[in-house]
Structure 1
Amino acid sequence: MNNIVKKLLLVSLLLSTFVFGGFGDALKKQKFLSPDEAFQTTAVMKDGMIETKINMADKIHIYEDSLHYRIISPKTVELSVTKPTPKEFDGDKVYEKELVITLPTKEIESKVAGDYTLEIEFQGCSDKGICYQPIKKTFQFKGAELGMIDKISAVVKEGNPKKIVDFFLHESPIFIILIFLVLGILISLTPCIFPMIPILSSIIMAQEGKDESQKSNPFLISLVYVLAMAVTYAIVGVIAGISGIDVGAALQNPWILTIFAAIFVALALSLFGYYEIGLPASWQSKLTKASDEAQGKGGIIGTAIMGFFSALIVGPCVTPPLGGAVLFITLTGNAVLGGFALFAMGLGMGLPLLVIGLGAGKFMPKPGGWMTRVSQVFGVTMLAVAIAMLGRFLPEGLTLFLWALLFMGVALFMGVFESKEYEGANKLFRLLGLVFLLYGVSLFVGSISGANSMFRPFSKFTSGVTVASAVVEDKSGHLGYSIERLMKEVKASDKPVVVDFGKDSCTACTELEEITFPHPLVKEQLKNFTFIKIDLTKNTEDDKALLKKFELFGTPNIIFFDKENNYLADKTLVGFIKPEVFAKHLKSVAK
C-alpha cells in the first residue's frame, strides 16, 4: 500500500514539474480560427442601400488599406466607398470587432445595367500572430429592370445559345420574331455580313452599265438578295433543328468550294473588263418573254440565287442567336416558329445591304470613268473571297502564296513602279501600292518558309519571340473524336476541361486560334484547365453525334466541364470570343 502511495506521489510530482516547467504548452496545439469563423461577412439590400457588415472575432483585425469594394459582373467597376475611421495598431490602420459600410444602389445602377455581383476584398490578421490570405466575398443583387434591347444585347454577349432559348421559351410568337429581327440587326454590326457587301455592290454596279430600259432598281436588287439570304437561313436552320444535319457544313466540300471560287474568279475578271458575262441573245429574248417585266429586267432570279449561295457558302458564321434558334427548334419541335424567327434574323442581318441599295438608288453618280475604278476594286474583293474559300481546304502555305500573289498583283496594277511628272495625288495612291507590294513580298517569303499565318509571315524566323499556340500543333490528333473518347479524356483530367469544337472552313475558329487562344491573359487562365480541341472538318457520324449530345450547332463551340466531370451547359460559348472576355469566362468557370 505504501509503495502504491509513493508511486502516485512520484507521478504527481513529475506531472507538476512538466506542466509548471512550460512543457505542457508544447503539447497544446495552437488553434486558430478559419477565415469564415474569423470574418463573418454579410451584404443585404434594403431601402435603396446595400448594407455590408464584417463581424470580426475576438483579437482579429482588418487592414484599412486592404479593403476594396467592386462590381465584378456584368462588368468590372471599382466602387468608391465611405469608410469609418480606423484604429491604430502597431503603426497600421485597422478595423476591429464590427465594420459596417453602406452603398447606395443608385450609384451602382448608374454604372451597370441589370443584375450585378458585388465583391468585397480584404486582408486581416490575428493578434496571436497569424495573418490570413486575402479574402474575397461575393454577393448577387438584382438590379434595375433592363430595357428589352439591353436584355437582348446582354444575352447575346454572353454567347450561350441555351440561355437565348431560356429567354424565349415563355414569350409570345410575335415577340420572339420581333426579337430575332433585332438580333439580326445586332449581328449585322459584326464581320459576318462583310463578305456579302462586295458581292451585292458588284451586282448593283453591273446594273449601272446597262441602258435605262434594262436597269433594275438598286433597292429592289438589294431586297431580293436579302430575302433570298433570309429564306436560306430559315430553311437551313429548320433542317438542322429537326434532323441535326448541318447543311452549311455539308456545303463546305472542297469540290463545291472550288466551283464557287472559280465563279468568283470569273466574276472578278469580268469586273476587270476582260469580258462581259451574259446569256446568249436568243436566251435573253426567250427569258424576257417568259418573265414579267420586273423579273426580266436586271437578273432578279440571278440575284436571288447569289443571295441563296452567299448565305450558305460565303458567310457561314455561326453566332449565338443562330445557334439559339436552332436549339429552340430542337428542344420545342416548333419548326414553324423557329423558321420565321430565323427568317426575321436574316432580314435584320441584311439591313446594311438594304441601306447600300437605298443609297445606290439616291446617291449613285452618273456613269463615267469612276465606275471602272470601282469595278476593279470589287474585282479584287471577289478574288479575295475566292482565296478565302479555297483557304478552307488548301494547305496553309499554298493559301499564303495565293494571298501574296493577290497583294503583289494589286500593287503592280496600281502602278507602283511607274513614275510620272506632276502626278500630284497619285503619289499617295502609289504609296499605298508600295505598302501592298511589301506586304505581298512578306507573305511570299512566309509561304516558302513554312509560315501559316497572314498576321505572322516571318514566324519561322522569329521563333524565339513568337507567341506559342495554346493548343497542340498536331492537327491529326484533333480528328476522330467520339463521345466515348471525349468523356474518357474528361474523366482522366484532374482539372476543369475546355473543349473547343472547330473546323478548317470556319473563319471564326481560325480567329480563335490566331487571336484569342495565344493571348497572354488566356494562356495564363488555361494553365488551370485541360484543353481539348476537336476538329469537325470531316463531319463524320461521330462528329454529328458529339454536336447532338451537347446540343450544339456548327462551329466554333466551346464547352466546359468542372473538376467532377460535370458538363456545364450554361457556360457554353459560341462564335468568336475576344481574349479579355474569354479569360474572364475561364476565371469564372475555374472558381
Structure 2
Amino acid sequence: MRALLAALLVFTASLSLGQTLGSSSAQLLGGDAAPEFLPVEEAYQLEVAVEDTQNVRLYWQIADSYYLYQHAFKFKLEIDGSPASVSADFPPALERNDEYFGDVSVYYNNADVQLLSEQPLEKPAQLAITFQGCADAGLCYPPKTQHFTLTPSGTVTEIAAPTARKKVPAVREQPTDLGSLPYMLLLAFLGGAILNLMPCVFPILSLKVLSFARSTDHDRHLHSWVYTAGVVLSFVAIAAVLISLQQAGKAVGWGFQLQSPGFVIALAYLFLVMGLSLSGLVQLGGNLMNIGSGLAQRNGLPGSFFTGVLAVVVASPCTAPFMGTALGFAITQPAAIGLSVFAALGLGMAAPLLLFSYSGGARGLMPKPGAWMETLKQFLAFPLYGAAIWLLWVAGRQTGVNTMAAVLAGALVLSMAMWLWGLGGWKRGLAVLCALLALSLASWRGLDQNGMAGASLAKGKLTWSEQTLDTLRRDGKPVFVDVTADWCITCLANESAVLLTDTMTAAFEEHGVVYMVADWTNYDEDIARFISGHGRTGIPLYLMYPADPAAKPLLLPQILTNDTVLEALEAVSIKNTLVARNFADDRP
C-alpha cells in the first residue's frame, strides 16, 4: 500500500500533463466506432470584411451537424495600438438545452455578425475574434481565437497569434520596502494562524492533535517541529515557483495549482485514500499518517513532515484575513523578502500545533486516551470524503461531466485496489493493476475539454471583461466586481452567506449597482493581470466602483459580512448622488 500511495503522490505532479494518455484512453474506450470529427478550421470557416470605417462583417460557414455558441463570442479591437470599444449585432439564434452549458443560444449552418467600432477605422487595426462550438456527435472544441489586421482601405489579412505581449507585466517590481516588512510579516503570521480554522485545513490539524494523546514530551516536541518544517518549506517552495513564474512574465496567483484539473483530481484521490484509511479499510502505517502510537516510532518523522506538506496543499483553496495584503506585498518585493513573507505565513500556520505540543494546559483539556480516539479518527474520515466530493465537482466544472464521471469510476477502482491490497498475497498484483487503471481514468479528458465554469450566471449578473467594465464606468454606472473560482472555499462561503442571498440581491438592485463576476476557476490571463493590478496575488477579490469614472474603487475585505457590503453600497450610493448633483449643477 505504501507503493500505491507513493505512486499517487508522484501522479499529483504529472497528471496535468495527461492529455496524450487521455486521448489513448478515449480510443480504447471508444474503439473503432468512435466518430471522426473535423478540424476546428474546417468545422467553422470564418470570413472577415470591412464594410465601412466603422462596420466589420464576420461570417462563419458552419459544417453540417456542428454549431457555435452565441455566448462564447469575444471581440478585441486595437486601432493604431490603442484599445477600441466594439459592439456586436447578433442574428437570431436557436435556443436549446446543451449538455455542457445548459440553456444556450446556438447557430447552425452559418452565423453572420456585425461589429460596430465606436472609433473610426482610419488607421491600421488588429482584431482578435474568439469563438467556440461543438458537434452534435458529442465533441466540444476549446475556444479558438483568430487574429486579423484591418486597414482603412478595407484590406483584411489573417495573422498568427502574437507570441509576446507588451502589456503591463504581472509583477510590478517596486523599490525594496524594509520599513513595511515587520508589519507584513505580522500580517502573514496572523493569516497563517487563521488558516487552521478553515474547513480545508481543520481535519488535518485534528489528526495531528489526536496523535499527541499517546506520545511522550520528547516525541511530541520533535514531531511538532518536523511538522512545522514541512509547512514552512512547502510555503517557501510554492512561493519560489510562484515568483519564478511571475518573473518569467506568467500571470499567476495564489492557488494557481488548483487551476490544473490534473492536480485537483489527484488531490481528490489522495483525500479518498486518507478517508478510507481512517475508516479502517486499510492501514497505511504510522510513518505515513502518524496516528496514535505510531508517533513514538522513529519512522513517524516522515509522516509528520508529510502532514505539514499536505496541510499546505489543502490550504491553497482558502484565503484568511490579512493574507491578501501580505502576499500582495510579497510578490512586489525582491525574492528574498517575498520568500520571508511566505515563511512567516507558514510559521503562523504551524504555530497553534507548536503551542499545543508545549502547553500542558491545552493538552489537559483533552479527554484521557481511550476508545473515543478510534471513534474520532473514523469520524474525521467524513470531512475528507466531503473534500474529495467537492474537488471532483471542481474538476467537473473545469472540464465537463464526462471527465467527472471517468474520475468517479477511477475512485471506485482505486477503492477496490486498496481492498485487494489489504487481502495480501497474489491479490496485491490485481491491486496494482486497479490503481493503474484508476490513474488512467483520471487522465482521461473524454469528449469535454472546456467545462462549465462561468457558463451561466445568476439573473442580473454580468460576465467580467475589461472592455465591459470600462464601458459601464464611462456610462456613469456603479459596478461591483466579484473575482471568484469554484475551487476557492472562501469565495463560495462569501457567496452563499452574503453575496447571493435574496437580501443582498435586492440591495444591489436598489442602489443600481451592476454585479460583475470574473470566474478564475480555469486560468485566464486577463483576470490574473486584473488581480495583480490591484496589488493582490490571489482571490477572493471584491471591488466596488463608484459611478464617477475618475474615482478609485473600494477594496472590500476577503471575508465578507452583510454589513460590510451594505456599507460599501451606501458609500457608492452617496457618491452617486454627489455625481448626479454635480452633473445637474453643471447643466445650463
TM-score (norm 2): 0.48
- TM value normalised by structure 1: 0.48
Q: Which has the larger radius of gyration?
A: 1
